Amino acid sequence: MTRPRSQIVSLDDTPYYHCVSRCVRRAFLCGEDRYSGKNFDHRKPWLVDRLTLLGEVFAIDIAAYAVMSNHYHVVLHVDQGRSRSWTRDAVIGRWLSLYKGDPLVHCYLRGDLKSEAEFRQLDCIVEIWRERLADISWFMRCLNEYIARRANKEDECTGRFWEGRFKSQALLDEAALLSCMAYIDLNPMRAGVCEALEESEFTSIQARIRRAASENGEVTESPTPRLMPFGTGMNDGQGPASLPYDLRNYIELVDWTGRIARTDKNGFIPEYAPSLLSTLRLNQEQWRMLALEIQREAITMFNGLEKLAAKERNRTKNAA
């Protein structure tokens, strides 16, 4: 039985979540469809651009992402403190950048509200919007619905575009967070799309590498989502949220993980180990097993999506 999202997302346990959406019928929504011969790579920037917008509008940080040919991954961090600090007008402005909004709100913006009852109703609407702007389900809805409508319009078709609801995975500690981020950043390399991190198109690791290069005077390319910055540790509630540890150490960890966490290499381990492992109090074998476990859990998530798609195909076939 499908569990309500409220039973899966518990901000009291962790603000970090790994979310995955895969397109329906195993279509190659953003890449080259080997069946039809069509290429849809031009759609990958759609996802990146939408993530860029939503990362600015929501009180949700983007820690990692990877846009693949028929699915995408994101690691999201919910910052409820940020949404609570927004003024009434700030909440309204953010919501109206995505939706038309309530007529009462537009009356307020024109200065037409007079009675206390109208202002109480306005504040109720604003509080609903405030909650939604710190809600992962609404974030994913704003992302998936937009892409679905745009792709269906281009394909001149209607119907489901994504395989049911997005899948979410709670990341309960720093080791789980970093291993999941590494798994996501390594997705293109695992798929054989590229051989180096800097060549990993439409991923957060490439965006971070390019941004670091631009700070050294090199020219930047197209806009990318405002990624959650690396800092000195997990956010303590004081100041902007930041990811644990240092960016350079994280890139070293991702590169190292890409060399060892492979099921077809029987756990080959290089002679050196990244400094982050000692900070996390994990040895090389423990990290390798954690990375493989994250990969297995992601495969389980995909298997659930496949079963849902097969069930839908059978239902459609029987109805016909």
Q: How many helices (H) and strands (E) does the chain have?
A: 13, 4
Q: Is 299 helix (H, G, I), strand (E, B) or coil?
A: helix
CA 160 vs CA 147, 256, 284: distances in Å: 12, 39, 43
Q: Tell me: the pLDDT tens digits for 69-108?
A: 889 999 999 999 999 999 999 999 999 999 999 999 999 9
Q: What percent of the chain has pLDDT over 90?
A: 36
Is the model's pLDDT at 43 over the cut of 90? no
- 5-86+133-319 has which CATH code? 3.30.70.1290
Model pLDDT, residue 216: 59
Give 29's pLDDT tier (boundaries 50, 70, 90): low
Cβ(103)–Cβ(129) under 8 Å?
no
Q: Which residue has the higher pLDDT, 47 or 285?
A: 47
């609407």: which residue's tokens?
125
Among residues 6, 7, 26, the alpha carbon closest in space to that of 308 is found at 26
Q: Mean pLDDT highest for which of 182-191, 243-252, 257-266, 300-309? A: 182-191
- Hey, which bits of the chain come out as E strands? 16-22, 60-67, 71-78, 167-170
Separation CA 180–CA 44 (nearest Å)? 21
Q: Tell me: the pLDDT tens digits for 274-284?
A: 555 666 676 76
CA 201 vs CA 59, 172, 205, 206, 217: distances in Å: 26, 28, 9, 7, 21
Q: Tell me: the pLDDT tens digits for 209-218?
A: 888 777 655 5
Among residues 248, 229, 223, 250, the alpha carbon closest in space to that of 77 is found at 229
Helix (H) or strand (E) holding 142: helix 136-155
Cβ(155)–Cβ(24) under 8 Å?
no
Question: If you compute the radius of gyration of the chain from its CA atoms, what whole number of angstroms results?
Answer: 21
Read off the tokens for 127.
């509080």
Q: What is the mean pLDDT of the chain?
A: 79
| Total number of residues shown for the chain | 320
Range of lowest pLDDT (146-150, 167-171, 269-273): 269-273
Separation CA 14–CA 151 (nearest Å)? 33
Q: C-alpha 34: how far from its chain's center?
A: 26
Is the model's pLDDT at 229 over the cut of 80? yes
Is the model's pLDDT at 138 over the cut of 50? yes
Read off the tokens for 289.
């097993």
* 184-205 mean pLDDT: 84
Q: Mean pLDDT highest for which of 88-102, 193-207, 232-246? A: 88-102
Q: Is 18 helix (H, G, I), strand (E, B) or coil?
A: strand
Cβ(301)–Cβ(167) under 8 Å?
yes
Domain ranges of the chain: 5-86+133-319, 88-131
Q: Which residue has the higher pLDDT, 227 or 128?
A: 128
pTM here? Answer: 0.79
Cβ(126)–Cβ(88) under 8 Å?
yes
Q: Mean pLDDT highest for which of 17-31, 180-194, 259-273? A: 180-194
